[in-house]
Each structure stands twice: as structure tokens, then as C-alpha cells.
Amino acid sequence: MTRPVSLCRFTTLPMTARALTAAAGGPAHVRQATARVRDEPAPVHLPVGATLRVSAEPARNAWQSLRTSDDAVLSCATAPGPDGTVDGTCRALRPGTATVTTSCGGHRWQLTVVVVA
């Protein structure tokens, strides 16, 4: 059975902060966001070393890879998924501000990330 797909209209999961145990034994901060057309999320503040996970639900028009406005502040890697989805992980590298963007079917989603020491 196949799931119906939308034309880039999604339900946004609330952005939540979680503490996870890193492989090295220390805490790592993780935030999550879901890209949604016509969504203007509030800026996110991350400490250096934290992770931002971005995902999108199925869409007829595939979501594009995540891009960051400043690779020195925030680095992002993206993996395309089935049904037009995309999953990305961004790492906060040094204090500063960067904007993460992706697009789907001519619609653009962006999130401002402020990295703090």
C-alpha cells in the first residue's frame, strides 16, 4: 500500500532540544526541525558542537539538499530519502550566524541558526 504524497505541504514537528550521550561519553545537544512550505520558523540557538537534524515528509516534488550560508559556522550533510524526502544533519562549528535552506517545487524553507560559545 502506498501513502499519498503532498505537493510540499507538511506538518511541522515542534523544535525540541534533547540531550544525548555522545560516543565519547559527554552530552551532545541535538535540535530537530521539519521543513514546511510557507513556514517561517523562529531562529534556533545552538552551542558549538551541537547538532541540528532537519527532515521533510514525502512530497511529489523532491526536497533539495540542505545548504548553509556559512560553512565555517555550520556544516550540513544531506541524504535524499524515498518519496521526495530529505534528511540532513548540521553541526555547529564556531560562534556566528548561518541560514540553512532547502526548497521543494519552487518553495523555499529557511532557518536561521545562531551558534554560541
- What are the structural domains of the chain? 32-116 (2.60.40.2020)
Cα(21)–Cα(96) distance, integer angstroms: 25
Q: Which residues contact 16 (CB under 8 A, 6 or more apart)?
A: 31, 32
pLDDT at residue number 28: 61
Judge residue 30's burial from the number of C-beta atoms within 10 Å of its C-beta, 0-12 exposed, 13-18 middle, 19 or more buried: middle
Cα(66)–Cα(112) distance, integer angstroms: 13
Task: Identify the bridge partners of residue 53 per DSSP, sorted by sequence position.
Answer: 32, 89
Strands 27-34 and 67-68: unpaired
pLDDT per position as a tens digit, 103-117: 998 889 999 999 999
Task: Identify the bridge partners of residue 1 per DSSP, sorted by sequence position.
Answer: none
pLDDT per position as a tens digit, 76-112: 999 998 888 899 999 999 999 999 999 998 889 999 9
Q: How far is CA 58 from the centre of its chain?
A: 15
